[in-house]
Amino acid sequence: MTTKRSFTPIFWFLALLLVIFVSYPIVLTLTGSPLRVLGDTLLDSEVLGSILFTFSSSLIATVIGLATGIPLAYILARHDFPGKSLIEGLIDLPIVIPHSAAGIALLLALGRNSILGRGFGLLGIRFVSSAPGVVAAMLFVSVPFLVDTAREGFEAVDSHLENVARTLGSSQWRVFWKVSFPLARRSILSGLILMWSRGISEFGAVVILTYHPMIAPVLLYERFQSYGLDYALPVAGIVILISMLIFLVLRALNSVREGS
Amino acid sequence: MTTKRSFTPIFWFLALLLVIFVSYPIVLTLTGSPLRVLGDTLLDSEVLGSILFTFSSSLIATVIGLATGIPLAYILARHDFPGKSLIEGLIDLPIVIPHSAAGIALLLALGRNSILGRGFGLLGIRFVSSAPGVVAAMLFVSVPFLVDTAREGFEAVDSHLENVARTLGSSQWRVFWKVSFPLARRSILSGLILMWSRGISEFGAVVILTYHPMIAPVLLYERFQSYGLDYALPVAGIVILISMLIFLVLRALNSVREGS
Amino acid sequence: MNRSSQLKLKDINLSVGGFSLVNVNLEIQGGEYFVLLGPTGAGKTVLLEAIAGIKPVTSGTIWLGAEDVTDRPPEARGVGFVYQDFALFPHLSVEKNISFGLLNRSTKAEPRQLARVERSGRTSSQNVRARVEQISSLFRISHLLDRKPEGLSGGEKQRVAMARALITDPQILLLDEPLSTLDPEIRELIQVELRRIHQELGTTTLHITHNFEVAAALADRIGVVMEGKIVQVGPPQEIFRQPVNESLARFVGVRNIFRGHHTIDREGGGHLQLDGLRLASISNLEGAARASIRPEDILLSRKSLVSSARNNFQGRVIQISDRGSFCYVTVRVTIPEQGGRSLDLIALVTQSSVQELGLELDQEIYAAFKASALHVF
Amino acid sequence: MNRSSQLKLKDINLSVGGFSLVNVNLEIQGGEYFVLLGPTGAGKTVLLEAIAGIKPVTSGTIWLGAEDVTDRPPEARGVGFVYQDFALFPHLSVEKNISFGLLNRSTKAEPRQLARVERSGRTSSQNVRARVEQISSLFRISHLLDRKPEGLSGGEKQRVAMARALITDPQILLLDEPLSTLDPEIRELIQVELRRIHQELGTTTLHITHNFEVAAALADRIGVVMEGKIVQVGPPQEIFRQPVNESLARFVGVRNIFRGHHTIDREGGGHLQLDGLRLASISNLEGAARASIRPEDILLSRKSLVSSARNNFQGRVIQISDRGSFCYVTVRVTIPEQGGRSLDLIALVTQSSVQELGLELDQEIYAAFKASALHVF
């Protein structure tokens, strides 16, 4: 703790090391394939199909997350009840459980021979090697991000506003739709963006539950396993580029809307 | 938006659906194997070795994250500079990039034939199929969680405290160690816990960079691929149990310390 | 105007967080401006929220008009609420804020209000607009209707919050320290305005504050809350001149508080015996007593006054505390018979008087006050 | 005591966020208690932070004592800083807070301080303890040393923050509205204490506030900041009685402000012509002028007074604004020659006077003030 070594340069040096460590592989992958190859890869119907499948599955998971995660977030933000911290702990577990173990757990809960699996099977829905399995896996690993972010958003809404709205004759529903939701909207949108992105990024849980039909991260793994790095690289470039663009664009849009 | 359907029960119903969806597979996996089998599995030297390897690798990644991520978080919390939002976007990318693509990117950046790979090779460090590769992959995917959480912690420290400490004769280093760090400590600890847990959970990036030596999530995948669900189940139970316990215990410790 | 209702609280008990209110009984007349005065943290806000239906009461009954509203949700009570922070909806324009209570009503909730609007032909947007314009001109905020709350000044926010609360024509208006975050100059203007609006609309009003001056300026009657209990209810002058206990006396700004023994002489005159000093009073108490004199009731002069003031003492100036326009002057009255014992009297005088009297430390001075200024309790 | 240094600001320009200060020049004498007075948001805090080295100046020079400290980091300036929020280290005990400046010093940073401590035999823990005890007893907070800041009252926090700032024996003490978050009763006590401590230690002090009463009670000299500029510097009475412009006059609480034409008659007497009214003054200005009278300088009486007051007008009471202990009484003076034109005078009187005079609305009354009370500018 001597004053000789100056503070700001050392902090900047360490911080930049990290920034370089994170950005260098990404830049390398994006620039690793010639543009022509990237273009060809994007037009490869298997690649394009898997990307669209990935994005739409994650979108469905996010919609389900919206319908159930927003109520949970609102309840956690506004109410105290016994067992609250248990639920708080439970809902964050998918972040910390190894993804392959999450896949096993989902297979156990939703597999062909499980109670739920048979029940849904009667409705014609099966979770193994099918789109619903992809959605379930994505929902499981990504919904904690939505709940945590939306909850912070609701907590930031002054409860006085809700109280006043009620004295002005509004029911709890109206208060939620006219006051709480609009004011937490930016946090909810951030949470939805994060959830969607996190769903797209999932590999371990999906690969166990649903190898086929292939989502893009699985296709990428398959190509890497079968043909090696050179064949996987353009797919990785495309996948990173698209998920990155969507994430950054959505985030920028969200903060612009906040500003205006 | 009719007042007929009451607000609180509907919100609770939707929220509980989500809580059940998340907790049911976990409970099922934990209770899916007889205790004796769980015990035997834990004593299986391959399983135990992979678990210890996973935890220690993630711990090393977390230490590296501490040394570089804390300075970055502090700089992002306290300074405005051109390009700040670029760095903010970059550092969050690992959250949204598909994990298998992250593995490919790291293989490209740190592989045997890459510039960095050769450089480190001269020092006797290689990243492919080796412990350093596991650490690098874990660091890459988990460090954003530390940076984001620590940053919020630093932002919550009133800058007046730092200013006063400086007028009292303390250099920036002393102010950081005596004021900023102790006051953001709880957030930093939360971030470290989250980073460590997230490192332990990683599968996709590690499986591409380093299949062997096997971390627990990879071992689990291997057993599932080779012997099927029944053989993978006890491993999944053990892995989930341990990571869950560690996460919940650390989180509880952290909030107890806050309380006291 | 015709909706101003009586509020009756019976045996209300409340406990939220660290605060609790014990056995509150209170009756506020229709059209009355009632101020609940008490130190910060005395549980006043919680009481307002209970009346509004936001916080539940532990026990007791709340009547609004002729109806028992204890178990009704807030949207079915017909109260107007203005928080200290005004709680304007930040995402809505001033106009939308004000019209919120007309547009965002749940059908079941407001029989009176709906009836009222429908009489004039449904809640059409023209009707709403007309009503908003009417109340905005009453509050002189018509020019702000298109603005968002964020850019408004404290006084403007206060007016918008009042207009929003009053547009639904509530049975009672609940004000939670609505002046405390305003600058003093604005506060005075708003006070005048509150009085004007109350005279115009006549809505029963329950205003809580910790500021005695605000209470004195606005209230028909004041209720004082201390430690979760209502300790005194009465018109401002009564609270001000005859506080029921010492902590209340301190709270409303009395500075001279003494403990002594009060006796009645044969002619019926009251006297407070105070360490050998004898103060004339008009009280008829007997025994141990406390007494207070408001600092502005003490007159200072260089010569002993022949006047109606029954208490007249010679002393020495020991402190002059400059308060800008005024000074607090502390006069030490020494009692020779008691061997150097002394009594400090604090008088409030204007700067001009200080100059006129040429007041300075250690100077001999006479302090006088009427027997009626000595409040014995 | 021996470290009290002069502060000199030359052509300081600053701009942080929305605030900016333009060409500030200021000289504060060693040992002086200087109060910088200005409305909230006038950039006063930014100026203090610039003097402390926390915020950089855009241009200009800062001298502390004989040294140009403009480019020094905060730890090498030797200033004590007390923020409005006191900024006590929440993770440290009161004792550790106070001793922070002795223990957490960077070697290069404090030649003076180190020398001082080493003279008495190094910064040993006993020495530190002794120093903490000494300053704690000065501030009467010895009983708080083992507590954490969280449980302290506002006044206690204020004392701890002051002790922490003064223990390092700074060249200058910078106070950023240290009384504004305190309750009025405590504020008065702390004011007395600040005066006592300043007399005892004699540390040069720069105190910023928006509260004129605080400034009047504490300052040797006052500087007034408005819109990023220092508009007037002088002793309190001068600022109070002779504000240099109208917005300053309003700010320091003058209520009667007029615009008129000032003339000097043959005998040298000044007169302010005001819509046909003629007010005697002692000014020697000529031409268009503004004038102010402090409300407490206006005397009210039921009969015309034969007195030294040169200005004496008959009017009618049109408003009585109750302020608790005092009332503002507005008297409308009608000027017959001007066909109904009128002048409103606001007088400040005690409640007792209101009762004595039996003041009520519409009553005929005389208002008088001395020529010297009319401040022409």
Q: pLDDT (tens digit, 9 = 90+) per residue, A146-160?
A: 999 999 999 999 999
Taking each helix axis from N to C terminus, what angle separates B99-110 and B115-122, rounded to the nearest 10 degrees? 60
In this complex, is the C-beta atom of B3 within 8 Å of any C-beta atom belonging to chain C? yes
Tokens of C181: 């975050």
List of chain C residues whose C-beta atoms are within 8 Å of the C-beta of residue A171? 73, 75, 106, 109
pLDDT exceeds 50 at position D117: no
Looking at this protein, which amino acid is placed at residue C23? N
D196 min Cα distance to partner chain B (Å): 23
- B2 pLDDT tier (thresholds 50, 70, 90): very low
Among C240, C297, C325, beta carbon nearest to D253: C325
CA dist., res. B19 & res. C223, Å (int): 49
Residue B97's domain comprises 44-213
- C279 pLDDT tier (thresholds 50, 70, 90): confident
C33-37 and C221-226 beta bridge pairing: parallel
The pLDDT value given to residue A145: 93
Whether B71 is covered by a domain: the verdict is: yes
The pLDDT value given to residue A92: 92
The pLDDT value given to residue C1: 41
Q: How much of chain C exceeds pLDDT 90, in percent?
A: 32
Provide the 3-class DSSP secondary structure of residue C84: coil
Beta carbons within 8 Å of A205's beta carbon, 6+ residues apart = A99, A100, A102, A103, A106, A137, A138, A140, A141
Q: Please tell me which chains touch A, using 3 or more CB pairs under 8 Å as the contact test.
A: B, C, D
C262 min Cα distance to partner chain B (Å): 53
Longest distance between any two alpha carbons in chain D, whole Å: 84
Tokens of D346: 């606001």
CA dist., res. C138 & res. C197, Å (int): 8
pLDDT digits (tens, 9 = 90+) for D54-83: 988 989 999 998 899 999 999 999 999 999
The pLDDT value given to residue C311: 83
CA angle A87, A187, A101 (to 5 degrees): 45
**Signed CA dihedral, C67, C71, C72, C74: sign only:** positive
The pLDDT value given to residue A130: 93
pLDDT digits (tens, 9 = 90+) for C345-359: 888 887 777 877 888
Q: Please tell me which chains touch C, using 3 or more CB pairs under 8 Å as the contact test.
A: A, B, D
Q: Which of C351, C364, C293, C355 is nearest to C322 (CA)?
A: C351
The pLDDT value given to residue D98: 96
Looking at this protein, which amino acid is placed at residue B242? I
Contact B202, B194 (CB under 8 A): no
Task: Point out which residues pair with C364 in neighbouring strands.
Answer: C316
Candidates D325, D330, D346, D361: best to mutate against C (most CBs of C within 10 A) is D325
Contact D360, D338 (CB under 8 A): no
In this complex, is the C-beta atom of D321 within 8 Å of any C-beta atom belonging to chain C? yes
The pLDDT value given to residue B26: 94
Phi, psi dihedral angles at C359 (to 5 degrees): -65, 135
List of chain A residues whose C-beta atoms are within 8 Å of the C-beta of residue C48? none
pLDDT exceeds 60 at position D108: no
The pLDDT value given to residue B69: 96
B122 min Cα distance to partner chain A (Å): 19
Whether A234 is covered by a domain: the verdict is: no
Q: Which of D261, D300, D299 is nearest to D281 (CA)?
A: D261
As to burial, measured by CB atoms within 10 angstroms (0-12 exposed, 13-18 middle, 19+ buried), residue A221 is buried
For the segment D217-232, the average pLDDT, to the nearest whole number, is 87
* Closest-approach residue (CA) in chain A for B251: A89
In this complex, is the C-beta atom of B178 within 8 Å of any C-beta atom belonging to chain D? yes
pLDDT exceeds 80 at position D194: yes
Task: Please count the structural domains in chain A.
Answer: 1
pLDDT exceeds 70 at position B5: no
Tokens of A132: 């619903």
Provide the 3-class DSSP secondary structure of residue B94: helix
In this complex, is the C-beta atom of D109 within 8 Å of any C-beta atom belonging to chain A? yes
CA dist., res. B153 & res. D313, Å (int): 66
Q: State the average pLDDT for chain B.
A: 91
The pLDDT value given to residue D277: 81
Q: How much of chain B exceeds pLDDT 70, in percent?
A: 97
Q: Please tell me which chains touch B, using 3 or more CB pairs under 8 Å as the contact test.
A: A, C, D
Whether A195 is covered by a domain: the verdict is: yes
Cβ pair C91:A171 closer than 8 A: no
Question: Any idea what DSSP says for residue A32?
Answer: S
CA dist., res. C267 & res. C263, Å (int): 11
Whether B141 is covered by a domain: the verdict is: yes
Q: State the average pLDDT for chain D.
A: 82
Between these two residues, D180 and C222, which has the higher pLDDT value? C222
Tens digit of each residue's pLDDT, chain A (260 residues) = 334 468 889 999 999 999 999 999 999 999 988 989 998 998 999 999 999 999 999 999 999 999 999 999 999 999 989 999 899 989 999 998 999 999 999 999 999 889 998 999 999 999 999 999 999 999 999 999 999 999 999 999 999 999 999 999 999 999 999 999 999 999 999 999 999 999 999 999 999 999 999 999 999 999 999 999 989 999 999 999 999 998 888 888 887 765 44
CA dist., res. B249 & res. C29, Å (int): 58
Q: Which of B131, B255, B233, B242 is nearest to B196 (CA)?
A: B242
Beta carbons within 8 Å of D158's beta carbon, 6+ residues apart = D82, D86, D178, D179, D182, D190
Task: Point out which residues pair with D83 in neighbouring strands.
Answer: none
The pLDDT value given to residue B191: 94
In this complex, is the C-beta atom of D114 within 8 Å of any C-beta atom belonging to chain B? no
**H/E stretch holding C293:** strand C287-293
pLDDT digits (tens, 9 = 90+) for C45-82: 888 999 999 988 989 999 998 899 999 999 999 999 99
pLDDT exceeds 80 at position C122: no
The pLDDT value given to residue C115: 40
pTM (predicted TM-score): 0.78
In this complex, is the C-beta atom of A129 within 8 Å of any C-beta atom belonging to chain C? no
Whether B258 is covered by a domain: the verdict is: no
In this complex, is the C-beta atom of D90 within 8 Å of any C-beta atom belonging to chain B? yes
In this complex, is the C-beta atom of D325 within 8 Å of any C-beta atom belonging to chain A? no
Cβ pair D81:B182 closer than 8 A: no
Looking at this protein, which amino acid is placed at residue D310? R
Q: Which of residues 146-205 of D touch C (CB under 8 A)?
A: 188, 192
* Secondary structure of D293-304 as H, E, C letters: ECHHHCEEECCC
Task: Point out which residues pair with C198 in neighbouring strands.
Answer: none
| Cα→Cα distances D33→B167, D29, D204, D241, Å | 20, 9, 6, 20
| Cα→Cα distances C311→A226, C16, C337, C371, C372, Å | 109, 49, 18, 7, 10
CA dist., res. B58 & res. D59, Å (int): 51
Q: What length does chain C have?
A: 377
Q: Which of D299, D292, D305, D310 is nearest to D359 (CA)?
A: D299
Q: What is the CATH number of the domain that holds B126?
A: 1.10.3720.10
In this complex, is the C-beta atom of D2 within 8 Å of any C-beta atom belonging to chain A? no
C317 min Cα distance to partner chain B (Å): 41
Q: Please tell me which chains touch D, using 3 or more CB pairs under 8 Å as the contact test.
A: A, B, C
For the segment C82-96, the average pLDDT, to the nearest whole number, is 94
List of chain D residues whose C-beta atoms are within 8 Å of the C-beta of residue A3? 106-109
Whether B23 is covered by a domain: the verdict is: no
Beta carbons within 8 Å of B257's beta carbon, 6+ residues apart = B186, B189
CA angle C39, C40, C43 (to 5 degrees): 95
Most confident of B12-16, B114-118, C252-256, C347-351: B12-16
List of chain C residues whose C-beta atoms are within 8 Å of the C-beta of residue A158? 85, 87
**H/E stretch holding B17:** helix B7-31
DSSP E strands in chain D: the ranges are 7-16, 19-28, 33-37, 59-64, 67-68, 79-82, 172-176, 204-209, 221-226, 229-234, 256-264, 270-274, 277-281, 287-293, 299-301, 311-322, 326-334, 342-350, 364-369, 375-376
**H/E stretch holding C28:** strand C19-28
Q: Which of C118, C192, C120 is nearest to C155 (CA)?
A: C192
Beta carbons within 8 Å of A168's beta carbon, 6+ residues apart = C75, C100, C101, C104, C105, C164, C165, C168
Question: What's the alpha-carbon Rg for chain B, to the nearest Å?
Answer: 22
What DSSP letter does each residue of C256-281 carry, written as one string?
EEEEEEEEE-TTS-EEEEETTEEEEE
Q: Which of C32, C28, C112, C30 is nearest to C75 (CA)?
A: C112
Cβ pair D104:B163 closer than 8 A: no
* Closest-approach residue (CA) in chain D for C355: D297
Cβ pair C324:D295 closer than 8 A: no
Contact B125, A246 (CB under 8 A): no
Contact D21, D49 (CB under 8 A): no
Phi, psi dihedral angles at C203 (to 5 degrees): -70, 135
Cβ neighbours of D25 (radius 10 Å): 12
In this complex, is the C-beta atom of B6 within 8 Å of any C-beta atom belonging to chain C? no
Q: Locate tokens 């609007």: which residue?
A: C117
pLDDT exceeds 70 at position D121: no
pLDDT digits (tens, 9 = 90+) for B66-95: 999 999 999 999 998 999 989 998 999 999
The pLDDT value given to residue B72: 97
Q: Locate tokens 């903060």: which residue?
A: A255
As to burial, measured by CB atoms within 10 angstroms (0-12 exposed, 13-18 middle, 19+ buried), residue B36 is exposed
Question: Any idea what DSSP says for residue D16?
Answer: E
**H/E stretch holding C21:** strand C19-28
pLDDT exceeds 60 at position C109: no
The pLDDT value given to residue D222: 93
Whether B225 is covered by a domain: the verdict is: no
Contact D202, D196 (CB under 8 A): no
pLDDT digits (tens, 9 = 90+) for C234-258: 988 788 767 888 778 777 766 677 8
Looking at this protein, which amino acid is placed at residue B76? L
Say which range, C44-58, C97-111, C282-296, D274-288, has the weakest mean pLDDT. Answer: C97-111
Burial D294-320 (b: 16+ CB within 10 A, else e): bbbbbbbeeeeeeeebbbbbebebeee
Q: Locate tokens 């040294």: which residue?
A: D67
Beta carbons within 8 Å of A121's beta carbon, 6+ residues apart = A112
SS3 percent helix, strand, coil of chain C, rounded to 5, is 30, 35, 35
Whether B240 is covered by a domain: the verdict is: no
The pLDDT value given to residue D178: 86
